[in-house]
Amino acid sequence: MNRSDQRGMAIVMAMFTMLIMSALGAAMVHVARTETLSSSSYTSMSQARYAAESGVAAAANYLLSSGYQVVMPGTAGDALANYNLALSPVASGGQPVVLSSDAGTTSNYPVAAVVQAFQNASSGTLNVGNGTVTYTARARLLGMRQVPDGITGAMWTLQTWEVTGVGRRAAGLGSGEVEVSAVIERSTRPVFSYAAFATANGCSALSFSGNASTSSYNSSQPVTGSSPVTASSQGHVGTNGNLSGGGSADINGTLSTPMSGVGACTANNVTAATVAALGTVSEGLIQLPQSVDFPTPAAPSPMPPTTNQTIHNSCPAGYAGVCQVIGGQTTFTPPSDGSPVLFGNLSLKGNAIVTLKAGTYHMNSLTISGTTRIVVDSNSGGPVKIVLAGEGSVTKVLDVTGNGLSNATWDPSRLTFEYAGTKLIEMDGNGNTAALIYAPNAQGRFWGNADFYGSVIMKTMEFGGSAGIHYDTTLQQKVLTAGNPVMTSFTWRTF
């Protein structure tokens, strides 16, 4: 073998190896740089997205704030006539209504102060680990309408906004831009969603004992017997506190409360129910995400007198023009201008029957006992609304025994009681009636053998004896108020 033919092979092999190692090194450097850039891009985009979400939150906070609510469309400073509600998005001056703090979008809103307030509230900067990110926002008014509150009659303006937050990372390495969009909307909800709801948040806020029960019925269905046909379901109850119970009480529905757990209830540990295994609640427990707020209604205006008044099959003095005796019944007809009929501490005597035609009645208190009765006139076209004041020394603002109330329509929205105070409402008798009671600060007691058709809202309530409360399912579409704002359709995109 001629060894001289293999001279220099070691150098060639070394150079080839170095070439391979260099290529591998360069590839690793490239991969590392790519990973670094990718990580930097991901970090930048994440930071920009957080900034964009901050823009959405800041804009939403302003649109839901009390500062905006007092100047929003429908208030004295911004008439609804400034807007075309038939379009979506809602238009003003022929163009969509827009609020913006983003330089790329111009605001179109008829109130300059609102434009400026939105710009101030919905833009800013956030400090991040290696710099700052900025956020801005824009909002389009997709829809708007006004609805009357079912209790107070005040008008609510319900809006649907599409809010877009824009988050930007500073220019240069790691720059980025992200948009996050969400829809904020507010719709109506029924005021009376339960057979009974107790607003108190403590133990025994709601109590069922004896043979008390709940169920449901539908007032739109014809009544073939002496009372509506009930179903052993949908007799839902609720409270911001605890349900207690015993005996053979039977709740044919759900229990809704923000509390949890079943067992002993104390001031420091308010459970959902003090009922063994929720045995009296046929459809189980629904845990609410938060307490339910029922605003205090306005006091009656004008206020009724606090003097004692009695009716015994004749018109009392001072009611000429609104009272007449028809067929042995004392009948009241409120004035055509809508003003209320005023009573003090009203009680019925003997076998008096008082018929109330559609309209508003302000009473300091109302006592019905024995064979006396108040009858809702079913032919006068509208509801009878009784607003109680409870001023002075009265301990019970509504005290009904015997067969005290008659509403032959079985539509509870045709007879409503409203009370802002804290005194007692008691119904203890044998008569059946259909009505709504809205008294979120009052104490309530339902006893005897009477069946109540409709819905009741009070601070605390106890049901005992054989009292039955039957929820009218048509109330889901009646007596509405503004619901809580909700955020939906959450989306995002990068640039």
Print pLDDT tens along the chain (495 aa).
555 555 666 776 767 777 777 766 665 655 555 554 444 555 677 788 889 999 999 999 999 999 999 999 998 889 999 999 999 999 999 999 999 999 989 999 999 999 999 999 999 998 876 778 899 999 999 999 999 888 888 889 999 999 999 998 765 545 678 999 999 999 898 999 999 999 999 999 999 988 999 999 999 998 888 889 999 999 999 999 999 987 788 999 999 999 998 889 999 999 999 876 566 788 989 999 889 989 899 999 999 999 999 998 889 999 999 999 988 889 999 999 999 999 999 998 888 899 999 999 999 999 998 888 899 998 887 899 999 999 999 999 999 987 788 999 999 999 999 999 999 999 987 778 899 999 999 999 998 888 899 999 999 999 998 889 999 999 999 888 888 888 887 787 766
Same-domain check for residues 297 and 348: yes
Q: For the whole model, what pTM was predicted? A: 0.79
Query: How long, in residues, is the chain?
Result: 495
Tokens of 187: 């719709």
Contact criterion met (CB below 8 Å) for 165 and 136: yes
| Helical axes 112-121 vs 9-63, angle rounded to 10° | 140
Query: Do residues 326 and 363 both lie within one domain?
Result: yes
Residues 233, 134 within the same domain? no
Distance CA(326)–CA(313), nearest Å, equals 10
216: in domain:
yes
Instruction: Tell me if 283 is assigned to some domain.
Output: no
How far is Cα 474 from Cα 459, in angstroms, rounded to an integer? 24
CB of 384 closer than 8 Å to CB of 356: yes
Rounded alpha-carbon distances, angstroms, from residue 357 to 227, 374, 417: 22, 11, 15
Q: Which two tokens stand for residue 209?
A: 């004992």
Query: Could you tell me how far CA 227 lies from the centroid of its own chain?
Result: 31
Asked if residue 42 and residue 127 are part of one domain, the reply reads: yes
- My answer on whether 123 and 203 are in the same domain is no
Same domain, 141 and 233: no
C-beta of residue 360 within 8 angstroms of C-beta of residue 389 = no
Query: Residues 113, 58: one domain?
Result: yes
Tokens of 303: 């206020």
Residues 73 and 156 grouped into a single domain: yes
Distance (Å, rounded) from C-alpha 207 to C-alpha 274? 10
Residue 318: inside a domain, yes or no?
yes
390 is in which domain, residue-wise?
196-243+291-476
Q: Are residues 227 and 150 in the same domain?
A: no
Residue 449 lies in a domain: yes
Give the total number of structural domains in the chain. Answer: 2
> Do the beta carbons of residue 290 and residue 240 sit within 8 Å?
no
Q: Decide if 278 is inside a domain.
A: no
Is 16 inside a domain boundary?
no
341 touches 322 (CB < 8 A): yes
Q: Could you write out the DSSP letters of every residue in 313-370?
A: SSPPTT-TTTEEEETTEEEE---TT-PPEEEEEEEE-TT-EEEE-SEEEEEEEEEE-T
50 & 95 share domain: yes
Same domain, 329 and 469: yes
Q: Are residues 209 and 324 in the same domain?
A: yes
